[in-house]
Structures are given as C-alpha cells and as structure tokens.
Structure 1
Amino acid sequence: MIDISIIIPSYNNLSTIGNCLDSIFSQQTKYKYEVILVDSSDKEDYSVLAPKFPELKMIKLNQRTYPGTARNIGVKAAKGKLIAFTDSDCIVFPDWINSTVDEHKKRDEILIGGAVANGTPHNLVGIAEYVLEFSDFIPQKNVRSMRVVASCNLSISKKLFLQAGGFEDFITNEDVLFSSVLNEKGVNICFVPNIKIYHVNRCNLWKFLKNQENLGYGSYKIRKIKKQPGSFLTKSRLLIPLIIPIRILTTFRKISRGKANCLLQFFVSFPIILAGIIFYSKGFFKGFTK
C-alpha cells in the first residue's frame, strides 16, 4: 500500500526538475511512496527522465495547463491516502517524506504547509523573489495555524482534498483560494517548519519582474472572488498606488521575524524588491482592464 503520493506539476522546467526528483528519490524513509509528474511542456521532452527515474509516473498533457489543474489531475491518479505537493523548481530536505507523514499521523483532517528555504542565497534577484513570495514560510518560524500555506510544500489527505474540490484553474494564487475554501469548511491549516524544502528562485531580472506582474494580476482576481486582506484595493484603480507602501511594510514585518541574515537580505536586495512590487502593482492594474 502506498503511504503518500507526491504530485509535481511542471511546464518547461527540465533544467530544475532533475534536482527535484533526485532529492525525492534519494529519501531515506520508512514509508512507501509514489511520485507523479504532470507535464504540460510544449518545448521540452521529459521522456529523457525515464532512464534515470524508472519509478517515476509521468502524465503527459497535450496543452499548457496551470499548476492547480495539473495537481488535480495528479491527485486523481494517486494511490496514496495522503497527498504531498511540491514544484519542479524545489529541492526537498532528506527527511521530507518522514516528517510529512509523521505530522499527519499526529493530526486528523488538516492541511499542512511546510517551510520554504532560499535556494538562491547568493543571487540578488533570487533573494528578492524569495523575500517577496516566501517571507511567511521561513524555516525559523514556529508551528502555528495559518490562513494560507504555499502549494510548493503542502500536504493533505486525498479524501479531504477531493471534498474541498481541488485547486481552481488560475495562473497564480490558486493556493490562496484553496486555503480559503478549507478555512470556510473549518479545516485547520497548520504551518510546520520542520517539513522543509528549498525553492530555486528566478535569477533573471526580467523573468522575475514578469512573474511578479502575473502574481499581481492573480492577486486581483482572487480578491474579487474571495474576501482577503487587501480586497478593498479592488474597489478603485485610484487605490493601486497604496500597494507599494503596503507590500513594503508587510514584507518587512514578516522578514524581520526571522534571523538577522533575513533582514540583511531584505535591505541588500531592496531596489529589486521595489521593482518587483511595482510590476506586481502593474499586474494588479491589469485586473481592472480584463
């Protein structure tokens, strides 16, 4: 019997997926697991992975598929009672499977999110992306209930996942909407920092800025559907300039809870962080026009 099914959505990420799979298949674990890769790439041939990872189960999709929908497809094929999600640009810690299953044995009917460590600590663009996207999930923080956890390090029972309806078909922020649905159902969402992964962040400035623009657009769409912190910003375009000071202050507050080096990273990469927030605001503005 499979104890846990690991689902990985991927789109044209052949450069990083190998390291991700290496970190999973090299786990020293007492639990039986399967790895399901849901690939919708249109420029890369993932069949080259088969010789190195013969146990990998691959689902090939014929068109570009957003991560949430790809995860849903993976869950349908999963044999484990417990589902864990990570992304193709992540590297899981050696005890990731053991820690994930052990935590679920302690708690029933729960969504667990793990910590996200910086996989690009020596690149300023990578640091900026990490600070903006993952400051809520730095490994130094304590076990606690949360409103939202990151889909790159998330686990839940298959039964509860299906009851919640799975992820929505959004380009970004699908984990925010999924967490909101579970919150409304009274499901406890717990952050457990000893379940850790590295996130390999974008190190190309333009790719980072375009991703922040996409995140801003997704943020607008989510806040129109579900009441979230900052939903008032969707009421008028005139409020969009407030995004810049709000995000600077909230990011600083979150990152300052970590170790001193986290705060140092914030200041060192601040010009790039500011540029990212400006592009995020640009994406949020696009939400009004589409």
Structure 2
Amino acid sequence: MQISVVLPSYNSEGSLRLVLEQLQRQDFAGEFEVIVCDCSNHDLVEQICHEFAMVKYVREAERFNPGIGRNLGAKHASGQLLLFLDTDVLLQENALTNAWDYYLHGNRVFGGALELDRHKKPTAASYLEHWFFNHESQKGRPCCARNNLSSALMAIDRLLFLNSCGFRDIPRMQDTEFTERLKASGQRLTYTPRVVGYQIQDSPLSKVLTKIYINGVNLFFIRYNKMATVKKALFFLSLPLLSLFKTVRIIIRHLKYQDERGRIITIIWMPLLFLGGLYWMLGLYRSMIFGGEISARRD
C-alpha cells in the first residue's frame, strides 16, 4: 500500500461525500486507502463511508480533538505515506499521483496548496478564513522550505510519524505545534504547489474571528511562553507592529500569488484582514496578561 489518506471527522456529513467522491476520481495508479476516524454524535457519517469500498471507517464514542483523530488513523493505516486531509478539502484529481512522486524524490514531510473552493459563492467570512489561515499555501507559490505546515493537507512518511509521538491533544494549532517540533528535531519541511486541494470555507464571520482569536491565544503558549522576561516585555510592546506586519504580509502574499480575480477580491476585502489581525493580537495579549494554558475551545 503506497498511500493512506486520513480524515478526522466530527459531524462532517455536509461535505464528506464530496471529499470521498473526489478521492474516488484520483488518477493514482498505485494502491491507496482512505481512513475516516469519526466521533460524530450520529451515524450519518458512517452511512456515507459504507458507500465507498476504499474507506476504512473507525468509530470513537467520545469526541476527540482533530489531532487525536489523525493519530488514530495513522495507527490503522498501512500505507507508506500518510496524507492528512480535512473533511472539507477536495483534492485535485492528480493530487495523490503528484504527492507520491514528490515523496519518492526524498521529501518525507510536506504540505500542498490550499485554494478556496468556489462551487458555492464564497462570503466575506469565507475569504477571511482562507486568507488568514492559508496565506502560505497558494498554488501560484513555488516549492520552498517551510517552518510549519497545515494538517488540512499534509503528507508525512508513516514510520516517521509513528516515531514522532504524533499530534498533541489540543483543539486548535496542533499542526503548528507538531510540525515545528518536527523541524526542531532536524526534519526538513517543504511545500509543493503540485498537490492541490480546494477547501470549503462556510463558517459565519463571528466563528472565523473566534478561530483567529484562539489562534493568537494558543500561539503564545506554543511558541513564545518560554521566552525570557525581557524578551516577553519587548514582544508585548511590539505586538501592534507585529500584528500590522503579519496582516500586510498576508495581503502582499495574496496579491503576489493569486490570479487577477483573487487580487481584486483581496483589495475589496482588505479591511477584514486588518480586523482579523486585531483579533489575533488580542488573543496573544489575553495569554500574556492573564496567563493560563492552551485554550480548550474548538471554535
């Protein structure tokens, strides 16, 4: 078995069938399997999975965080390469072929391009969520080294994953924590635009802003909490500038790597990105002022 596609699922019946149908259309000549690890509070996801012969359905009674679902899927996998995929990401038909080829060229941990799915008309919230969380993954971007990867579309050698202790049991940013840990251990992370997925973004604006806020809260504990006191003070004072820099960098990346339509939409909704940057900054300030630990909130 060459590839195991692992999807963690919680009440994903709204998009899962589309995702599995697209996996069924893959032009990959080798063997692959799909493992759906599900903790839904109903049996609709299980019913959908049974419609597809390639799917191995794994059921857990208790709701798990996405990283735990991925860890569980990896234990049930038999493929040489694990491809972690969210249940709202539709793979381009040559994605598995290109992922396997890229892996055979010595790339053991890599991410693919995530574009916004436009089958349904995207809302302002759709664009904000896509821009903010996928600003390093446009298909117009060339191959490059990365400091971290998104588990919405990420591939890793199965034995390497099993020997790395996997994802932490945290609701959000488990992919940032895991891949930065891999990089710190000496693993090379890369990005390839040849593996393309189209993500369905349909969360309301309030939920997207909450996700961005939690992103800021958790990022402090994952990346900055161990800084010396003086460095923390400087970080605290410089955070408004860092937030502005982050937002401008996101805008520049989308203007550079998007097509003409995408550039126009980026310009139109630019104020939303600055609002997202504000929520991200407030999340970081919340962690620095009140302390605590990684947020247990999922959204």
Q: Which residue does 1:116 correspond to in 2? A: 114
| SS of equivalent residue, structure 1 residue 97 | helix
Q: Which residue does 2:253 correspond to in 1? A: 254
Q: Which residue does 1:76 correspond to in 2? A: 75
Q: Which residue does 2:98 correspond to in 1? A: 99
Q: Which residue does 1:46 correspond to in 2? A: 45
Matched AA of 2:115: A
Matches within 5 A, 1:123-162: 123-162=123-162
| SS of equivalent residue, structure 1 residue 137 | coil
Native 8 Å contact 2:244 2:277 kept in 1: no
Unaligned stretches of 5+ in structure 1? Answer: none
| SS of equivalent residue, structure 2 residue 256 | coil
CA distance in 1, matches of 2:42, 2:275: 29
Matched AA of 1:111: V
Query: Structure 1 residues 116, 75: CA separation in 2 closer, same or farther (over 3 Å shift)?
Result: same
CA distance in 1, matches of 2:204, 2:233: 30
CA distance in 2, matches of 1:105, 1:265: 37
Q: Which residue does 1:166 correspond to in 2? A: 166
| SS of equivalent residue, structure 1 residue 165 | coil
| SS of equivalent residue, structure 1 residue 116 | strand
Q: Which residue does 1:60 correspond to in 2? A: 59
Tell me which moved more, 137-146 or 122-131. Answer: 122-131
Tell me which moved more, 275-284 or 91-100. Answer: 275-284
Query: Structure 1 residues 234, 176: CA separation in 2 closer, same or farther (over 3 Å shift)?
Result: farther
Shift of 1:116: 0.7
Native 8 Å contact 1:3 1:31 kept in 2: yes
Query: Structure 1 residues 249, 102: CA separation in 2 closer, same or farther (over 3 Å shift)?
Result: same
Native 8 Å contact 1:129 1:273 kept in 2: no
Native 8 Å contact 2:12 2:87 kept in 1: yes
CA distance in 2, matches of 1:155, 1:253: 27
Query: Structure 1 residues 57, 212: CA separation in 2 closer, same or farther (over 3 Å shift)?
Result: same
CA distance in 2, matches of 1:198, 1:62: 30
Matches within 5 A, 1:175-214: 175-214=175-214
| SS of equivalent residue, structure 1 residue 117 | strand
Q: Which residue does 2:28 correspond to in 1? A: 29
Shift of 1:155: 0.7
Shift of 1:141: 0.8
Native 8 Å contact 1:40 1:63 kept in 2: yes
Native 8 Å contact 1:124 1:203 kept in 2: no
Matches within 5 A, 1:267-278: 267-278=267-278
Shift of 1:85: 0.7
Native 8 Å contact 2:114 2:199 kept in 1: yes
CA distance in 2, matches of 1:162, 1:142: 29
Shift of 1:87: 0.2
> After the TM superposition, which segments of 4 or more aligned residues of structure 1 sit over 6 Å from their partners?
233-236
Matched AA of 1:272: L
Matched AA of 1:148: N
Shift of 1:185: 2.4
| SS of equivalent residue, structure 2 residue 40 | coil
Matched AA of 1:134: N
Q: Which residue does 1:216 correspond to in 2? A: 216
Q: C-alpha offsets along residues 126-167 of structure 1, whole Å, 9 cap, x if unaligned?
A: 111111111111000111111122211111111111222211
Shift of 1:203: 4.3
Query: Structure 1 residues 38, 126: CA separation in 2 closer, same or farther (over 3 Å shift)?
Result: same
RMSD: 2.3
CA distance in 1, matches of 2:117, 2:143: 22
Tell me which moved more, 93-102 or 112-121. Answer: 112-121
Query: Structure 1 residues 52, 280: CA separation in 2 closer, same or farther (over 3 Å shift)?
Result: same
Give the aligned length: 284
